[in-house]
Amino acid sequence: MIRTPLRPLARVLKARETGENPDLIERENRRLRQEAERDSARTRAEGRLLALALIFVCAVGVLGARMGLLAATEPVAIARGLAEDISSARAEIVDRQGRVLATNLPTHALYAETRRMVEPGRAAQELARIFPDIDAERMVARFTDPNRRFIWIRTRLSPEQQQAVHDIGEPGLLFGPREMRVYPNGRMAAHVLGGARFGQQGVRAAEVIGMAGAELHFDDRLRDPAQLDQPLQLALDLTVQATVTEVLEGGKRMLSARGATAVLMDVHTGEVISLVSLPDFDPNDRPAPPTEGEPADSPLFNRAVQGYYELGSVMKTFAVAQALDEGHVTPDTMIDTRGPLSWGRFRIRDFRDYGPELSVKDVMVRSSNIGTARIMQEIGAEAQQDFLRKLGLLESMPLELAEAARARPLLPERWSDLSVMTISYGHGMSTSPLALAATYAAMVNGGRKVTPTLVKQNRVPGGEQIISAETSAQIRQMLHQTVQEGTASFARIPGYPVGGKTGSADKPNPQGGGYIKDAVLATFASVFPSHDPRYVLIVTLDEPVDTTGAEPRRTAGWTAVPVSAEITRRVAPLLGLRPVRMDEAESALAVRH
């Protein structure tokens, strides 16, 4: 920087010539210099002030942000094992009335640190005494193996076992805290709950992760630290589930069926109130998946959700509903039922001859294959597929179970005219009992599509309108008639008007080709109370035989229907339904018609 001199010679000389005072020049320059100095000092001070203010703003900002973060974090339930990297916490599962279905119990795992062991030989002997399945010699070998420093001995101990191990007094035997998943109701709702196992294991904690069913489907929700203290509330009702299981077990035993399943669903919300599949298992001690034999015979197999079967005549309801809804027929239209109905090499027969013609209503009530096939012939393949797709029967029915998405319906490779006819009465296409429950719910609830759910709902979801309310009312009346005077007369129970449709399907031969003789899958799809349906109940029995008569009877009317009727008789009061007189119900049905 060039400094301006206070008394520049040129200006001083000039001033002297003109007789001015040169001191004035000096004073002027001094003033300018001071002003410049003052300006620079001010900017520097301003800069410092600004920097200081920024620092304060930052500091306060950090404090504020921290406070905001603390205020915004979700409160975390205080539970064991949360502080470690591995969290063993898992929320409870309760039924719709808050009764515990699955919970955790603190327990301990047993491990050994071999370097701290004093008497490995004696410890192994004592352990073998406490746990009979431990081989003392092999245990000694493991304890004294110089390459091993750490050995897991047991994943969970009972308090008595823990005390016994403690009494050995071996400092190398140590306990690690664990959470154990407990299903206090044993086998109840086993297929819904699934089961749990230990995941990643540490000394201080071990993850408890879902293995199947709802435990696996809701695994993230159940382990979410923010929702640990809120139990997962299912739509299931434990009392109803227990009753359904009891009756179904009795029915399965009496009719010597290979398996049985029942689904009870709310027709408006799609809540699954009860879901039973027999044989079942104990989720506390989940058996290993089968390595041989038919997987569908394993107790792990959930027949209601994974079991896609040809269900037979119960599917006629959909054919009739479609024909009514699209205006092809009215309930009183007469249908030609002369048989057998030939289509190429294929012949469609009825269970017995129903005469030359039946009204559409009687085709349902008497369950005529020929009649249904003829009705569907008019509708055609494309419209049939559209209708079934709208119902959700052409893909796997969703449910909050890990298994649900894996099972898919079997559909004909080519949707021929013959397929149209056989599918109309329930052959050539497979459906699961759960899907059947959801679609029957849509048939009778006024025609709205229902999505099955295992979680308790607080409001009725507005599903897509599939059939009109009038068609739904007509279907309700036909189902009611089927029970009153048709194939399902055993379903008449005092106090509760029931509507339903039977289905007895021959089981397809697993070796391929044709059907097995005398192997029937008997299904009864029912709704109650039939004048104002609240619940739909599907009961399916695998190869049941009623041997009380002169000759064995296998049709659903003799097998699935009585079992279903007993379930309804026991369960309806539990669901809080008031009994009604039959004439009241019939007049209600007639008014709606």
Binding site for another protein (CB under 8 A): 78-80, 99-100, 103-106, 182, 184-186, 188, 238-239, 241-243, 246, 493-496, 569-570, 572-574, 578-579
Q: Work out how close the CB of 164 gets to another protein at its nearest, in angstroms, rounded to a whole number.
A: 20
Cis peptide before 340 (omega within 30 of 0): yes
Q: Which is nearer to another protein, 103 or 125 (CB)?
A: 103
Q: Which two tokens stand for residue 182?
A: 């407990």
Q: Which is nearer to another protein, 196 or 402 (CB)?
A: 196
Q: Which is nearer to another protein, 87 or 322 (CB)?
A: 87
Q: Which is nearer to another protein, 95 or 219 (CB)?
A: 95
CB 575 within 8 A of CB 496: no
Q: Which is nearer to another protein, 190 or 402 (CB)?
A: 190
Q: Which is nearer to another protein, 79 or 209 (CB)?
A: 79
CB atoms within 10 A of CB 9: 8
Q: Work out how close the CB of 243 gets to another protein at its nearest, in angstroms, rounded to a whole number.
A: 8
CB 279 within 8 A of CB 259: yes
CB 115 within 8 A of CB 149: yes
| β-pair partners for 197 | 209
Q: Work out how close the CB of 567 gets to another protein at its nearest, in angstroms, rounded to a whole number.
A: 11
Q: Work out how close the CB of 99 gets to another protein at its nearest, in angstroms, rounded to a whole number.
A: 7
Q: Which is nearer to another protein, 179 or 271 (CB)?
A: 179
CB 335 within 8 A of CB 305: no
Q: Work out how close the CB of 571 gets to another protein at its nearest, in angstroms, rounded to a whole number.
A: 10
DSSP secondary structure letter of residue 175: E
DSSP letters spanning 307-350: --B--GGGGHHHHHHHHHHTTS--TT-EEE--S-EEETTEEE--
Q: Work out how close the CB of 276 gets to another protein at its nearest, in angstroms, rounded to a whole number.
A: 12
Q: Work out how close the CB of 74 gets to another protein at its nearest, in angstroms, rounded to a whole number.
A: 17
Q: Work out how close the CB of 187 gets to another protein at its nearest, in angstroms, rounded to a whole number.
A: 8
Q: Work out how close the CB of 101 gets to another protein at its nearest, in angstroms, rounded to a whole number.
A: 8
Task: State the number of CA atoms in the 13 A half-sphere of 334 facing the CB.
Answer: 6
Separation in Å, CA 70 to CA 58, 65, 66: 18, 8, 6
Q: Which is nearer to another protein, 174 or 242 (CB)?
A: 242
Q: Work out how close the CB of 573 gets to another protein at its nearest, in angstroms, rounded to a whole number.
A: 4
Q: Measure CA of the first residue to CA of the last residue in the chain; give whole Å.
A: 106
CB 304 within 8 A of CB 296: no
Residue 358, H or E segment: strand 357-359
Q: Kindly give, in sequence order, each residue whose CB lies less than 8 Å from that of residue 42, ignoring residues fewer than 6 positions away.
A: none
CA distance 104 to 226: 17
Q: Looking at 105-237, list the stretches that DSSP marks H as alpha helix, in order from N- to C-terminal side.
A: 120-130, 136-144, 159-168, 190-193, 213-217, 219-223
Q: Work out how close the CB of 106 gets to another protein at its nearest, in angstroms, rounded to a whole number.
A: 5
Q: Which is nearer to another protein, 241 or 555 (CB)?
A: 241
DSSP secondary structure letter of residue 533: -
Q: Which is nearer to another protein, 109 or 329 (CB)?
A: 109
Q: Work out how close the CB of 473 gets to another protein at its nearest, in angstroms, rounded to a whole number.
A: 25
Residue holding tokens 């597929």? Answer: 385
Separation in Å, CA 416 to CA 339, 350, 370, 384, 533: 21, 21, 17, 11, 35
CA distance 557 to 202: 57
Q: Which is nearer to another protein, 78 or 460 (CB)?
A: 78
Q: Which is nearer to another protein, 334 or 574 (CB)?
A: 574
